[in-house]
Structure 1
Amino acid sequence: MFDKLFEAQQKAEEIKKRLNNISVIGEAEGGAIKVTATANKEIQSITIDPSFHSEAAIEELEELLTVAVNKALQQADNVSQTEMQAATKDMLGGLGGMFGG
């Protein structure tokens, strides 16, 4: 039983490492603002088109930046959930033997 728990812990670590290598992008204003993050919800970069930046009011820029960050984090959530569901399905299949399944 402890082997299965250890295996589950290792699998979780593998998923976390894999999520660090998956990038997601949130955009606002037709791509004028782009936020890139890992699937572990770590912001990697923020880019703002210089022509948009020169014309935008600071309040508009702040609002759109918030939108882009939230979109990136939502995509990260979606990827993370998909990875975890796949791993859980694999682990539960492996745990079936512990319960006579």
Structure 2
Amino acid sequence: MFGDMMGMMGKLKETQEKVKATKERLNSVFIEETSPEDLLKVTITANRDIKSIEVDDSLLSDKEKLEDYLVITLNKAIAKATNVNETELAAVAKEGMPDIPGMDSFLK
């Protein structure tokens, strides 16, 4: 029994290290999203840190359109980054889970 417990604790520690490494790696995974008409481009990491925003000069004279494009484009980029982030972290976490019958259906 203690051997199983020690093995599980070791696997848990290994999984925690893999999750940490995955989070660090996701800082270098970039997601780019563009607005309608490609007048605005946002680049963020899979950890949802904004890295750059490029604005076409034509948007500078239309504050309302610029604001709308920022909201739309940032939300799309964040949704994509969240999907990548959650998928990657879930894969690492699932890999480190002990083999418990019925757990697969619970995690879906």
Q: How far apart, CA to CA, are the structure 2 residues paired with 1:8 and 1:87? A: 7
- Please give the TM-score of this superposition, normalised by the length of structure 1: 0.81
Alignment of structure 1 residues 8-47 onto 2, 5 Å = 8-47=15-54
CA drift of 1:2 comes to: 2.2
Matched letter for residue 28 of structure 2? N
**For residue 53 of structure 1, what is the aligned residue in structure 2?**
59
Structure 2: which 5+ runs fail to align? 1-7, 101-108
Q: How far apart, CA to CA, are the structure 2 residues paired with 1:23 and 1:57? A: 28
Structure 1: which 5+ runs fail to align? none
4+ residue segments displaced more than 6 Å: none
CA drift of 1:63 comes to: 1.0
CA drift of 1:53 comes to: 2.3
**For residue 99 of structure 2, what is the aligned residue in structure 1?**
96
- Cα RMSD, aligned residues only: 1.7
Residue identity over aligned pairs, in percent, reads 37
1:79 matched to 2:84? yes
Residues 35-81 of structure 1: CA deviation (Å, up to 9, x unaligned): 1000000000000112x224x41011111111111111011011112
Number of residue equivalences: 93
